Amino acid sequence: MSASPHKTSLSNQTGLSNKSAWLLSWQGVTFFILLLTLYRILAITQGHVSLFYDEAYYYHWSLDPDWGYYSKPPMVAWIITMTTSLFSDNDFAVKLGAPILYGLTAGVVYRIGKHLWNPQAAACSALVFCAAPLVGFNSLFITTDAPLLFFWALATWLFIIALQTQSWKNWLLVGVAVGLGMMSKYTMALLPIGLFLYMGASKQYRPLLLTLKPWSAAVVAGLIFALNIYWNYQHNFVTLNHTSEISQLDKKLFNPDKLAEFILSQLIVFGPIWSYFLIRQWMSKEARAAITQSGILLATFLPLFLIICTQALLSRAFINWAAPCLIAASLWTGFYLSRQPRRKLIIGLIIQLGFISTFYHWPIILESAGIERTRKVDPFQRTQGWSELATQLKPVLMASPNALITSPSRKLLAYISFYAEPGQLRVARWNPDQNNIRDYYDLLFNLRNYAHQNQQAFILINETPLDSNLLSRFQQCGSEQHYTETVFRDLSREIYLYECTGFKGYINEGP
């Protein structure tokens, strides 16, 4: 873990201006990260940046802090609990953790680069990370990737320090960081695998495997993660069933086209400019020589990347499944750019941040240009109109405060419950198949829990009219009510609502 022999000073950089020299100082890069984070916080206050339904769904998790939830560990819900406790139950507060966590991760990337190489490479790496499209896009939406990337970077940094200092405190902190990462997303399990492989492959650090320190870190991580395992035990390991389902390994098991698509997508989410420099860096003999001295980055990159590529080849892989690979990629690219004329870094930042900023404000740009917003040209169209539609339903919900909002749709339960009644959750999920639990609502609030309670009222909602067979499972249902909200000329949100009482049970479960 020794520093690279290729360290350089600012004075040796070709064409280095005073401004770019200041940007690559620790004061400059800190100011840049803080300013960019503030800008991204302000971006989520824009009217068109509303909640994606997964965010509203995670918000409902946060109303009941627990050690686990249907499909994910609890960290994202805990973060939303903290931010909404401070800033109330609204879109801004739900999303706030995302830009803050990505800003903190950029700071940790800087610390890793400084330990591996030098302050200039560290600064370039942090800037590269900030300007990756995936980071920019995800800064508008709170997902499990935000805490995952933070704890992935933090555990990597602490691991480097622990190797250098051999301090019990630092090894135990590695365990805490890995454990909290596991409580963020199960992908984190691949990081300690890579770290142990790194120690095993290193003559210098292999003897550590015969000591208690790295194993104590593993025990600490395991004890933290055991809380989520216990939760899964209490709920019949529903999370494992969900993970197995989305992997789709029961389908066609050889898809080279999916693999190629996945690899291309990784170049896109890292950004075309950074991807070009990353490829150039691997073609540079000098840069490769420095990279081999920081094999720790290979250990944090390869296991995850190879496993997700294998998953893509066998069935499919979502574009964000290899998101932590951005950390090593940013560091490699940052090292390469630290040895290049500064204009390459500056031009790359301008292009990539310009692209991200254009995405942030695209609806405003369209309106300013006199171009009509439609579902085909507005990338935010999937999140639009739900707040207004929920407002239309408020009088019905207020008139029946004891009625349960019921739907076969997770999306509707998330959106309508959040926007109509923030801070509350009174839902009953329609799903007759008790062997195929679909989501958090289904796990804890399935409609069958209220069967044969003749006085219990329900407000059924759906995006299309419900058929008579479904409505017949209630003792009584009022006439159909239709609500619509026009978003664009070619996009409307619709809800069909029925006020019912007395659920008889599902067809195969009730009389």
Q: 77 and 69 in contact (C-beta within 8 Å)? A: yes
Closest CA relative to residue 430, chosen from 470, 402, 472: 470
- How high is the pLDDT of residue 3? 41
Q: Report the greatest alpha carbon distance in the chain.
A: 84
Helix (H) or strand (E) run with residue 498 in it: strand 491-503
Q: 174 and 158 in contact (C-beta within 8 Å)? A: yes
- One digit per residue, pLDDT tens: the chain, 511 residues? 444 434 444 334 444 456 668 888 999 999 999 999 999 999 999 999 999 999 999 999 999 999 999 999 999 999 999 999 999 999 999 999 999 999 999 999 999 999 999 999 999 999 999 999 999 999 999 999 999 999 999 999 999 999 999 999 999 999 999 999 999 999 999 999 999 999 999 999 999 999 999 999 999 999 999 999 999 999 989 887 766 665 555 566 677 888 999 999 999 999 999 999 999 888 777 666 666 667 899 999 999 999 999 999 988 888 999 999 999 999 999 999 999 999 999 999 999 999 999 999 999 999 999 999 999 999 999 999 999 999 999 999 999 999 999 999 999 999 999 999 999 999 999 999 988 899 999 999 999 999 999 999 999 999 999 999 999 999 999 999 999 999 999 999 999 999 999 999 998 775 5
Contacts of residue 2, Cβ cutoff 8 Å, sequence gap at least 6? 293
Q: Which residues, listed in sequence order, are joined to residue 446 by a DSSP beta bridge?
A: 429
How far apart CA 140 and CA 75 sit, in angstroms, is: 18
| Angstrom distances, CA of residue 16 to CA of 113, 247, 330, 339, 443 | 20, 48, 21, 11, 59
How far apart CA 292 and CA 136 sit, in angstroms, is: 29
- DSSP letters for 342-393: HHHHHHHHHHHHHHHHHHHTHHHHHHHTTPPP-TTT-TTGGGSSHHHHHHHH
| Angstrom distances, CA of residue 254 to CA of 170, 246, 303, 304 | 43, 16, 20, 19
How far apart CA 16 and CA 308 sit, in angstroms, is: 40
How far apart CA 499 and CA 505 sit, in angstroms, is: 17
Checking DSSP bridges between strand 491-503 and strand 457-462, what pairing results, if any?
antiparallel
